[in-house]
Homo-oligomer: A and B are copies of this chain.
Amino acid sequence: MPTKKKPQVTAAKKARASAETNARASAGKKPAAEKKPAATAAQARRRELLGTAAEVFAEQGYNATTVRKIADHAGMLAGSLYYHFDSKESMLEEILRTFLDELWDGYDTVLAAGHGPRETLEALVTESFREIDRHRAAVAIYQKESRQLVAQERFTFLADSQRKFEKAWLSTLERGVAARVFRYDLDVRLTYRFVRDTVWVAASWYRPGGLHSPEEIARQYLSMVLDGIAVRT
């Protein structure tokens, strides 16, 4: 993986420029309207393509997904994707980054709310299922590929997120044990893995628009995780 030499201003610039695009254009008042049609159209296409790519990555696995398959799904030729993106890998990166950004928006809000440990855990689980609902493909990709990816420089942000994630959960669990809200005899690290996996693996079978809303699934999961499946005697 030699570092890129070609500027490739086109795609990369556009991506980052698009956010500011909103602000820029002729110093307008009502900032939301009029001015971004061009940039927004490009942005929309970009998002659309990333959605398609995510779907295919999730379905077939990143390595098994050829750029051609993505292009097919998007109704264009493989080469054309390179007008929009630097590389297959950069698509993957953007998909995962976008997902994690949104995930942490939600998590940070929850963690900042100052709930008790049980409420925090409930809120985190519920938030997680909401993310699965919104970013099913990205979550599935994350589950399957992140272990391999973290080793690459480009994807170290995954490791950062994982660390933050672990910290949030562990501290919540520890707070709960200390507060005698959670059982004192738990191996906290084991429990962490248990809850974490339990939640995220759901992305592998969850289909948005199914029978249960994310909140409902969260409720049931929480019921099992908190109270167990055995009848209380």
Contacts and interface: CB of A to CB of B under 8 A. Distances in A.
Contact of A64 (B63, B182, B183, B221): B63
Interface string A199-232: 0011011000000000001001101111111111
A228 B225 contact: yes
A152 interface: no
A224 B185 CA distance: 10
Interface in A78-127: 118
Interface in A161-192: 180-187, 190-191
A212 to B, nearest CB: 8
A201 B194 CA distance: 9
B148 A190 contact: no
A227 B185 CA distance: 12
Chain copies in the assembled complex: 4
Contacts of A223: 185
Contact of A197 (B68, B118, B197): B197
Given A144-B144, A224-B191, A232 B232 contact: yes
Nearest to A224: B194
A60 interface: yes
A158 to B, nearest CB: 15
15 contacts: A61-B148, A64-B148, A180-B231, A182-B229, A182-B230, A185-B223, A186-B224, A190-B221, A191-B224, A191-B229, A194-B221, A224-B228, A226-B228, A227-B228, A228-B228
4 closest A-B pairs by CB:
A228-B228, A63-B63, A227-B228, A197-B201
Given A185-B223, A227-B227, 7 more contacts: A183-B231, A193-B202, A197-B198, A198-B198, A224-B228, A226-B230, A232-B232
